[in-house]
Structure 1
């Protein structure tokens, strides 16, 4: 073949590649967002849930003993082993161990205040991950540098110490394991607890607790897990995302939070059907018990806030106000995570869901919708 012929063939090939239409892309179902469940319940219960619809499940909780992360007892060890065994049903599932929880991090400020404590903790995490064949660690310290559980120590030094903690953890457990942390969804945490740019360079994601924004200490009712802010309530999921985006935190590392439970307030006046009125926290109710405990037959009337994109109920006879997530708000939150190209959505907690037709199903159905349809 002549040099001219070879050149001609090459030119034809290049032109065909440049000018031909790209292969048609099919609409993809289920944009790749994480669906993350915290789990706080017995080992035998988890089989009843559709774990195939999860990407991550987080055992709640491990705690500190001295400077080391420990599993509290044999029962908890069995639960972790059960969670890891779920990979037989969902090979893509990742199982993480969580430190702390509300009231579960009493000595965190002290232990993580020096290099030896952080090093010993990090090595103990690696040992547990290797022993259970788990996939990572979730830090649920409530809260570094600001007041959290009553009586727990906190100091401004917690903020840089948390950075050094995640850096040491990464060195100890390597790149194949995940590091995440639970973050308060309220302004004081966002502004005071975390060195965001430094920490997010190391962590795979942050699980934003965009629930309990109206909580057990609140004396005025409101939405405890709203998607958007309202004139009466600044704290919301969207408020958190806007703040973190504004300071340069990558949106693809942000996970928004949802609540599989309601908060009930008592002695609430009927003005505005109880919303934004004085009240006292009474109790929580898991989603699986809504139909039994919060039924219309019992006097609970459903309301929807189109600004917050959040539901609430009010019982005029009993003067009870109820704030919660439902299937509608869950679908809207999932769509928000997809539209904003966030890392995903998480929730507390799987054991409070209904076995079928529950909130996980609502998340999954929205996740699997074809974009633009």
Structure 2
């Protein structure tokens, strides 16, 4: 793991030009009243980089109605970076703790204006963003956390990420991804045969130990402090609570169901009584936080405040999903009634706690599933947003290679039946407001082996002998490992920019996946289609630098095309 950055980092902004000459703040009347320190914020951008050097630019912003001439900025720099020379300000200290004050001739920051200064620095191919930045003792970002845009940015974090993928909640901070998210959907909560939310440590039924019983050591903890074996909340839930302390604007929802645990949704939604009991059990367990005692953890209210809402991932009402699922023809109408019950009880509980609890859902690709399982005009007003499946359009359940997450159909595709564009049109033609839609983006790939090159030599749309072997499963592979295959030169990279797709092929094995370019293209497409943002499954597929999330965030910051 990399060293964990401090919480209060200077917010990066785009600079149109590199600072080329000393800049002076505008002259102000001497009698003007000074603004308080709280009126100041600071932004930073690395405006140029070469070999071992770089140029940084810092802007002091004064949002108040009075000028400020007495200011002091303090921060540290990441290991391997340091300031070499600075102009238009006074520098003291070293990379472990710099202090910057106005130059000897003064530098008043105008009311509602800015003061800019720059510096040259040295680096060792690493980050240069200042850490633990304060201005006059207050956070440089004014205390703000979260992404610098108004769109929805959602990541699924799975129950098994820490134990089976070595991706801990703390890694959301270390990779910088937490600062780029508006939402985390924690996957998954299970529904039992009695149609209730429940906790279990039985294999295949749940992992309550990972949820709140496991004692997280210091080196895996968000705050760098080990869980106390005697505390009521430990494990992933406590780490999510710590994460929300760092990022108070971050929304964390519990996602119910998924592919494996949608088995009894139909039973839970069947009658008015079963729906009421189901929803009440979920609110008690996750929002009130009343956890069963396990390994010394749990108890009434133990997880209160961890979750901000509920995400419904019933795969799928009225149609086949996992073969073990209970499916009924009346699932469509019952889903509508279930959504209404969730909304009603969430609002009722919200009136008790004086807050809004979110209700979201993961919904499928394909108009036929929509018509069989959803009364969209009835359910959409009750959702804060829904995430639309943007992947698994094709996969290793088929014998011919294809794109798994194409934006539009490929002209070469012998059966062009599915794309994000066609799915978007299916929702919109059924009256759904695109602003309620969030596009799903995969952080993993689908792969086949025994693939001939074909006429284009790239393995696309060719017969395969079977699924390729991934690190954790057959047929799928996380992006971070697929990136290594490209970087090593083992595979050749191909892409279709119009379709927003990438794939790699080595003459035998073929992987369709999304890289930094593809996720950026998909994000731009989603915003251009009027969507409110994007979702990723799952965040543990990203690399140690959070490269995919960084590409998504850059596209979201750029805004709608």
TM bin, normalised by shorter chain, reads: 0.7 to 0.9
C-alpha contact (below 8 Å) 1:137/1:180 kept by paired residues: yes
C-alpha contact (below 8 Å) 1:31/1:338 kept by paired residues: no
Residue 164 (str. 1) matches residue 164 (str. 2): no
Indicate the residue corresponding to 2:423 in structure 1.
240
Q: Which of 299, 314, 333 is the matching residue for 2:522?
A: 333
In structure 2, distance between residues paired with 1:247 and 1:285: 35
C-alpha contact (below 8 Å) 2:388/2:437 kept by paired residues: yes
Residue 130 (str. 1) matches residue 130 (str. 2): no
Residue 115 (str. 1) matches residue 272 (str. 2): yes
Indicate the residue corresponding to 1:98 in structure 2.
255
Q: Which of 198, 202, 222 is the matching residue for 1:70?
A: 198
Q: Which of 143, 154, 158 is the matching residue for 2:327?
A: 154
C-alpha contact (below 8 Å) 1:310/1:329 kept by paired residues: yes
Once the two structures are superposed, what CA deviation does each residue of 1:301-346 show, in whole Å capped at 9, x if it has no partner?
1111134121111121xx2111011111111111122222312100
Greater mean alpha carbon deviation, residues 101-110 or residues 289-298: 289-298
List gaps (5 residues or longer) in structure 2. Answer: 1-146, 201-207, 213-234, 290-302, 351-355, 469-474
Indicate the residue corresponding to 2:482 in structure 1.
290
Higher helix residue share: 1
Once the two structures are superposed, what CA deviation does each residue of 1:277-305 show, in whole Å capped at 9, x if it has no partner?
2223332111122233455532x111111
Residue 185 (str. 1) matches residue 358 (str. 2): no
Indicate the residue corresponding to 2:497 in structure 1.
306
Residue 369 (str. 1) matches residue 558 (str. 2): yes
C-alpha contact (below 8 Å) 2:366/2:426 kept by paired residues: no
Residue 341 of structure 1 aligns to a residue whose secondary structure is coil
Once the two structures are superposed, what CA deviation does each residue of 1:37-85 show, in whole Å capped at 9, x if it has no partner?
0011128712122201100001111101222112331321321232232
Runs of 4+ in structure 1 deviating by more than 6 angstroms, as ranges, are none
In structure 2, distance between residues paired with 1:338 and 1:250: 13
Residue 218 (str. 1) matches residue 218 (str. 2): no
In structure 2, distance between residues paired with 1:171 and 1:57: 23
Greater mean alpha carbon deviation, residues 271-280 or residues 328-337: 271-280
Shift, 1:110, TM fit: 2.0
TM-score, normalised to structure 1, is 0.86
Indicate the residue corresponding to 1:276 in structure 2.
461
In structure 2, distance between residues paired with 1:193 and 1:48: 37
In structure 1, distance between residues paired with 2:440 and 2:367: 15
Q: Which of 511, 526, 531 is the matching residue for 1:342?
A: 531
In structure 2, distance between residues paired with 1:91 and 1:341: 27
In structure 2, distance between residues paired with 1:287 and 1:294: 11
Measured at CA, do residues 230 and 370 of structure 1 come closer, stay the same or move farther in structure 2, by a change above 3 Å?
closer
In structure 2, distance between residues paired with 1:219 and 1:368: 39
RMSD: 1.9
In structure 2, distance between residues paired with 1:201 and 1:332: 29
Indicate the residue corresponding to 2:512 in structure 1.
323
C-alpha contact (below 8 Å) 2:404/2:512 kept by paired residues: yes
Once the two structures are superposed, what CA deviation does each residue of 1:144-189 show, in whole Å capped at 9, x if it has no partner?
1111112322122111111111000111111611111111223432
Higher gyration radius (CA): 2
TM-score, normalised to structure 2, is 0.58
Residue 170 of structure 1 aligns to a residue whose secondary structure is helix
Indicate the residue corresponding to 1:201 in structure 2.
381
Indicate the residue corresponding to 1:261 in structure 2.
444
Q: How many pairs are equivalent?
A: 341
